[in-house]
Structures are given as C-alpha cells and as structure tokens.
C-alpha cells in the first residue's frame, strides 16, 4: 500500500524530463534526482550508468526554457559520467541539446566563465555542477552461493596445505 503523501522522486534523467513542464519544475525534479543518487544508495558505477543511459525526451517543445533544460541534462550526464569514469551516454552527443544563447546560473559571469566544466561550456551553459556520485569503496556485492563456493575452495586449500605439512612431518619423523 502506498502512502498518499509519499514523494515519488525521479530515478533516471529520463524521469526528470518526463515530470517537468516548466524550468522551475525541471530544477526541482533535477534536485530530487540528485537527492536520490546521493542518498538513495547509488554507490556503484554500474548503477549510475543505468540512471544515465536512457535518453530523456526533448523539453524545448514543452516549455519556453526547455532548450536550457535539454542542454543542462546532456551536460550534466556527460560531466557525471566523466567524474565517475564511465562511458558517456550516447544521447549526449545530440546537437539539439545545446543552448542557442549563453545561460549563466548566477550574475558572477566572469567567475563562471573561469570555473565552468567543459561539458557545460560546450553547450553554452555556465554553472558549477554538483557532484552527487561517490563510488563506494570495497568489493562489489556477490551472491550467497558465490560466497559459499569461495569458502569451500578456501577450506579445501587449507586442508591440502595441512595434509602436506603432516606428511612432511611424518616422513621426517620416520627418517
């Protein structure tokens, strides 16, 4: 049973676009998606890549500032992929996902021109994106069957080593 007040956060960048009908709604949906990535348990590169791969629908025809949103989605997906060390999504190369006019996130234009990453500058966007992905250190998760199999092999190798040491000790004692 779902809670009537439960917030449905977007899981992918496609969901962000699907749920956006204004630039303001786009900003809120993108922020919700970032929250999902940051605090929703996305700690592997594969999980992040799944959330970036599906191409979002074009927003330029949906609302007035949709061209900015289209460019931002492509720039952000490309930048996040670069930060995570995963392949860039194919849909990011779409030339229609470039803003016609420069867009600055704040009035500090000189600063933004200096610090904006290339993925954004190439699309005529000037902002400092937030890196919401942190790869969790450690080994990737594996199934219980895989763990049992590795334990059996480790135990067998230990028993074999003990068997060899005992045989060597016995032969030295008999000599």
Beta bridge partners of 104: 126
Instruction: Quote the tokens at residue 171.
Output: 């032969």
pLDDT tens per residue across all 175 residues of the chain: 555 666 688 999 999 999 999 999 999 999 999 998 988 778 889 999 999 999 999 999 999 999 999 999 999 999 999 999 999 999 999 999 999 999 999 999 999 999 999 999 999 999 999 888 877 776 667 788 988 999 999 999 999 999 999 999 999 888 7
Virtual CA dihedral for 13, 138, 128, 74, nearest 10 degrees? -30
* In the chain, domain spans: 13-126, 142-175
Contact 72, 92 (CB under 8 A): no
Q: How far apart are CA 7 and CA 35, in angstroms?
A: 12
């Amino acid at each position: 049973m779902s809670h009537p007040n439960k917030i449905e956060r977007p899981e992918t960048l496609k969901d962000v676009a699907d749920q956006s009908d204004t630039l303001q709604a786009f900003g809120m949906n993108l922020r919700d998606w970032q929250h999902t990535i940051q605090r929703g348990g996305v700690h592997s590169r594969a999980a992040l890549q799944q959330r970036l791969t599906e191409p979002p629908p074009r927003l330029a025809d949906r609302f007035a500032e949709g061209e900015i949103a289209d460019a931002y989605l492509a720039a952000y997906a490309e930048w996040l992929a670069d930060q995570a060390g995963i392949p860039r999504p194919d849909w990011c190369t779409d030339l229609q996902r470039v803003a016609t006019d420069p867009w600055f996130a704040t009035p500090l234009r000189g600063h933004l021109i200096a610090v904006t990453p290339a993925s954004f500058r190439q699309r005529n966007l000037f902002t400092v994106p937030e890196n919401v992905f942190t790869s969790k250190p450690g080994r990737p998760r594996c199934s219980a069957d895989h763990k049992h199999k590795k334990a059996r092999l480790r135990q067998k190798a230990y028993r074999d080593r003990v068997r060899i040491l005992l045989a060597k000790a016995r032969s030295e004692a008999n000599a």
